[in-house]
Amino acid sequence: MSALSMPDAGPARGNMVAIMSGVERKGVWSAAAHVNAVAVMGGIDLDFTRCSLSAMETVINVMAIMGGVEITVPLGMTVIVDGVGIMGAFVDNANQRYGPEAPVLRVRGMAIMGGVEVKSSKKQIGG
């Protein structure tokens, strides 16, 4: 199975929690179709460059309170960011849109005195 392929069966939901600590997913890993990411005075680092997806659309619900979430995406993945920063930032630095055949990463949520950043790895899917 190649990176960013849709396996026959994968986790539907996943949770990542960093409270005064950190969570990191890099290299080859599998992402659930729906992910809840909570960073409270901690950090979460997700790199989708070599990730296997469970569905064509992956939704990440983010809550960053005095913490940070950094999401890295490969070229070829559509990114839709819909979040609010309150005394913080919710930023889409990837600005990637592709056709209907491309996998979609939808990031939504809130950053309170914290930050959420989506950025491009500048590598192709699976690279």
Domain annotation covers residue 2 = no
Segments of 21-87 assigned E as strands: 22-25, 30-31, 34-40, 43-47, 52-53, 57-65, 68-75, 78-86
Taking all residues of the chain, what is their mean pLDDT, rounded to a whole number? 91
Domain annotation covers residue 41 = yes
CA distances from 79 to 1, 83, 92, 100, 103 (A): 23, 13, 8, 12, 9
- Summarize pLDDT for 101-110 with one digit per residue, the tens: 999 999 999 9
- Summarize pLDDT for 1-49 with one digit per residue, the tens: 335 555 444 568 899 999 999 999 999 999 999 999 999 999 999 999 9
- Domain total of the chain: 1
Domain annotation covers residue 4 = no
Range of the domain at 26: 13-122
Domain annotation covers residue 3 = no
Domain annotation covers residue 5 = no
pLDDT at 5: 52
Distance, CA of 102 to CA of 44 (rounded, Å): 25
pLDDT at 122 over 70: yes
Domain annotation covers residue 90 = yes
Domain annotation covers residue 43 = yes
Domain annotation covers residue 97 = yes
CA 94 to chain centre: 12
pLDDT at 124: 85
Cβ partners under 8 Å of residue 100, min gap 6: none
- Summarize pLDDT for 43-91 with one digit per residue, the tens: 999 999 999 999 999 999 999 999 999 999 999 999 999 999 999 999 9
